[in-house]
């Protein structure tokens, strides 16, 4: 059917051995995607409409919600297409583009979590100079820097995928395209594509996590110097939501990394499930965490849906 095998579309894979119940599996996936979309879109609307939320902390939260929304919209079409409609074929260009956005948004999310740690660091270490340091223009520059880091750093390993020949099996192991899956199908020298991501992960995820931990050590040192226990609790409470989001994101990153590196003999379903947890759990949890733990978000939500005018 395909005289040039390199031109054949890639084939996405759902849950191997469970194809007969894919339509049932699609129900919880659809519910999670819908909840994730609604949660993050609502956060963006609240921050846009409510002037009481026009602070650096909430601007960074809006960036996080936008990134999670982007990840949802990037993976949802193919995941639900495979599970619900059994649409497994994906063209090369569409596959590489999806892979680019998936990996880019993951790096952007890590960068935003780092920026939010910087926000909490300034808020607690220099509260009187908080707004003079984190001006709107500086917040925009930080956000732009985070975006550029993500979108530029992923280009080197993704661009070669467009001209690699693909003469092996075209079956991918997920219901979405990942760089590490696609490159293994190429009939070409993929040494660069193997080494570059390792360096990139060390320079982004690992370095970001290290700086976040260091910033919280300094934050904790500052909080412990506060005489009043009540003020200590109040200061730490402003960090709880961010710490929760950091834990959700990096625990899933570490879990997925360990499964890929050390779980070669683990059942295929474990690898697939961990991948879905990595891409679905943080975007699903982040709006929930901030909605539950942030009083300003709760009040803004009530005002929005009760029809009151914005603050």
**Contact 122/142 with Cβ under 8 angstroms?**
no
Work out the average pLDDT over 78-98: 96
Q: Looking at residue 269, what is its pLDDT?
A: 81
pLDDT band with cut points at 50, 70 and 90 for residue 258: confident
Q: Looking at residue 255, what is its pLDDT?
A: 86
Give the lowest-confidence range in 23-32, 175-184, 296-305: 296-305
3-state SS of 179-241? HHHHHCCCCCCCHHHHHHHHHHHHHHHHHHHHHHHHHHHHHHHHHHCCCCHHHHHHHHHHHHH
- Please say if the pLDDT value at position 1 is more than 50: no
Q: Looking at residue 28, what is its pLDDT?
A: 95
pLDDT band with cut points at 50, 70 and 90 for residue 167: confident
Question: Could you read off the pLDDT of 90-137 as tens digits, one per residue?
Answer: 999 999 999 999 999 999 999 999 999 999 999 999 999 999 999 999
Work out the average pLDDT over 133-156: 97
- How far apart, in whole angstroms, are the C-alpha atoms of residue 228 and residue 234? 10
3-state SS of 91-106? CHHHHHHHHHHHHHHH
Give the closest residue to 290 by CA, choosing from 248, 250, 234, 255. 248
- Please say if the pLDDT value at position 65 is more than 80: yes
Cα–Cα distances (Å) from 107 to 35, 78, 154, 248, in that order, read 23, 21, 9, 15
pLDDT band with cut points at 50, 70 and 90 for residue 225: confident
Give the closest residue to 186 by CA, choosing from 102, 88, 78, 96. 96
- CA angle (180, 181, 183) in 5-degree steps: 70
Give the closest residue to 174 by CA, choosing from 279, 93, 68. 279
Q: Strand (E) positions, the chain?
A: 10-11, 89-90
Q: Average pLDDT of the chain?
A: 91
Question: Could you read off the pLDDT of 263-273 as tens digits, one per residue?
Answer: 677 787 888 88
- Token digits of residue 250: 């990096």
**Contact 255/277 with Cβ under 8 angstroms?**
yes
- How far apart, in whole angstroms, are the C-alpha atoms of residue 50 and residue 53? 6
What is the Cα 254 distance to its own chain's centre?
Answer: 14
Give the closest residue to 139 by CA, choosing from 154, 125, 118. 118
- Please say if the pLDDT value at position 250 is more than 80: yes
């Amino acid at each position: 059917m395909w005289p040039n095998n390199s031109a054949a579309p890639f084939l996405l894979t759902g849950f191997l051995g469970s194809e007969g119940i894919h339509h049932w599996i699609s129900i919880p996936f659809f519910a999670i995607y819908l909840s994730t979309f609604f949660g993050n879109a609502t956060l963006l609307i609240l921050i846009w409409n409510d002037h009481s939320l026009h602070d650096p902390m909430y601007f960074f939260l809006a960036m996080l919600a936008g990134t999670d929304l982007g990840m949802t919209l990037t993976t949802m079409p193919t995941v639900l297409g495979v599970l619900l409609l059994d649409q497994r074929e994906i063209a090369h260009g569409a596959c590489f583009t999806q892979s680019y956005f998936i990996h880019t948004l993951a790096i952007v999310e890590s960068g935003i979590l780092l920026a939010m740690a910087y926000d909490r660091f300034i808020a607690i270490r220099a509260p009187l100079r908080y707004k003079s340091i984190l001006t709107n223009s500086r917040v925009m520059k930080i956000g732009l820097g985070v975006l550029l880091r993500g979108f530029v750093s992923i280009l080197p390993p993704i661009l070669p995928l467009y001209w690699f020949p693909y003469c092996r099996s075209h079956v991918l192991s997920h219901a979405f395209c990942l760089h590490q899956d696609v490159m293994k199908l190429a009939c070409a020298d993929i040494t660069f594509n193997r080494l570059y991501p390792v360096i990139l992960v060390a320079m982004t995820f690992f370095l970001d996590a290290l700086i976040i931990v260091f910033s919280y050590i300094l934050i904790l040192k500052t909080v412990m110097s506060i005489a009043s226990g009540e003020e200590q609790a109040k200061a730490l409470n402003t960090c709880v939501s961010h710490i929760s989001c950091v834990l959700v994101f990096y625990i899933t990153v570490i879990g997925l990394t360990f499964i890929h590196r050390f779980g070669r003999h683990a059942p295929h379903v474990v690898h697939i499930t961990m991948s879905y947890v990595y891409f679905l759990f943080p975007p699903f949890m982040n709006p929930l965490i901030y909605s539950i733990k942030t009083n300003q978000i709760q009040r803004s939500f009530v005002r929005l849906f009760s029809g009151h005018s914005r603050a």
